[in-house]
Amino acid sequence: MYAEERQQAIADLLRSSGRVSVTELAALYEVTTETVRRDLSALERVGMARRVHGGAVPVSSVIERRLSERDESNPEEKERIGKAAGALVPPLDATIILDAGSTVGRLAGHLPRDRRLVVFTHSFPVATRLLTQSNVELHLLPGRLRATTQAAVGTDTVEYLRRLHADVAYVGTNGLSFDRGLSTPDTDEAATKRAIVAAAARVVLTADADKIGQEHTVQFAELEQIDTVVTDDRISDRVVQRLERCGIEVVVA
């Protein structure tokens, strides 16, 4: 196989799988890992891939989509995840933090109604959804509202979160990998998520299986900082076992 043919095949595989590994490609095409790295660099130069640690991801996966677009992706899986995550709210009155994002937004519709909850969020859509829920004492965090995520970010948001201590924080992510933990494309969004993780005694990640294996520009948490991952049944047994070896509880919805 010529280099051009191999690179085209790698590009096709990247589009279908969402991520490629240097070692797996080397075995698949019976070439050295250095040859694969050159192929990935060539694809990156023409805008067909973005190099990440150990492999590459599609360029489209590192472009941040608007909230409305993300909400249309895997809606049934996200609804199941939201329902399963809602069942994890502590049985006694609890203080919780809800991150922004399409999956956490589904969770907002499944919060228990049989107990008093104090909810802090920087997400305008989440706050709107909870505004009329009588058992919720709602606090909308200050900050600059981002059009892409419809969430408050910035210095004011982070400073407010630093003064909080919640029982549970529910966070979303653009990517989860075993090399780089949780990541997102935007620096301000990452700073807010980092502060949310630090403000809670327990951290629950809500993420559909498509997020697993993806890496984005800014890391905001290590896997060791996550207590529970709630995801859908497309996750592989191998990934579940790796997460559990990291000390993470995995709930499959």
Q: Provide the edge-to-edge strand list for the sheet that holds 200-206.
A: 136-140, 117-121, 94-98, 166-171, 200-206, 228-231, 249-252
Distances (CA, A) of 41 to 14, 51, 159, 161: 14, 7, 40, 40
Give the closest residue to 220 by CA, choosing from 186, 188, 193.
193
Three-state secondary structure call for residue 233? coil
pLDDT, position 226: 98
Percent of the chain topping pLDDT 70: 94
User: For the CA atoms of the chain, what is the radius of gyration?
Assistant: 19
More confident residue, 82 or 69: 82
Segment 127-154 shows an average pLDDT of 93
Q: What is the mean pLDDT of the chain?
A: 89
Among 60-69, 110-119, 121-130, 210-219, name the one with the lowest average pLDDT: 60-69
Per-residue DSSP letters for 137-159? Answer: EEEEPPSEEETTTTEEESHHHHH
pLDDT at 64 > cutoff 60: no
- Structure confidence at residue 60 as a pLDDT band (50, 70, 90): low
| Per-residue model confidence as pLDDT tens digits over 2-16 | 888 898 889 888 877
Domains of the chain: 3-61 (1.10.10.10), 67-252 (3.40.50.1360)
Instruction: Work out the pLDDT band at 73, boundaries 50, 70, 90.
Output: low
* Model confidence band, residue 188 (pLDDT cutoffs 50, 70, 90): very high
| 8 or 206, greater pLDDT | 206
Percent of all residues in the chain with a pLDDT value above 90, rounded to a whole number: 67
Average pLDDT over residues 171-183: 93
> In angstroms, rounded to a whole number, what is the distance separating the alpha carbons of residues 50 and 139?
39
Amino acid identity at 200: A
Q: Which long-range contacts (CB under 8 A, 24 or more apart) does 55-60 make?
A: 55/19, 55/20, 55/21, 55/22, 55/24, 55/25, 56/14, 56/19, 56/20, 57/14, 57/18, 57/19, 57/214, 57/215, 58/14, 58/15, 58/18
What is the pLDDT, as a whole number, of residue 79?
A: 93
**pLDDT on residue 144:** 94
Q: What does the pLDDT read at residue 20? A: 86
Question: What distance, in Å, lies between the first and last C-alpha atoms of the chain?
Answer: 43
Higher pLDDT, 59 or 198: 198
Residue 61: predicted pLDDT: 52
Residue 74, phi-psi category: left (phi > 0), alpha (psi -120 to 50), beta (remainder): left
Q: What is the pTM of this model?
A: 0.73
Least confident of 21-35, 57-71, 200-214: 57-71
Indicate if the pLDDT at residue 63 is higher than 80.
no
Q: State the pLDDT confidence band at 210, using cuts at 50, 70 and 90.
A: confident
At residue 119 the predicted structure's pLDDT band, cuts being 50, 70 and 90, is very high
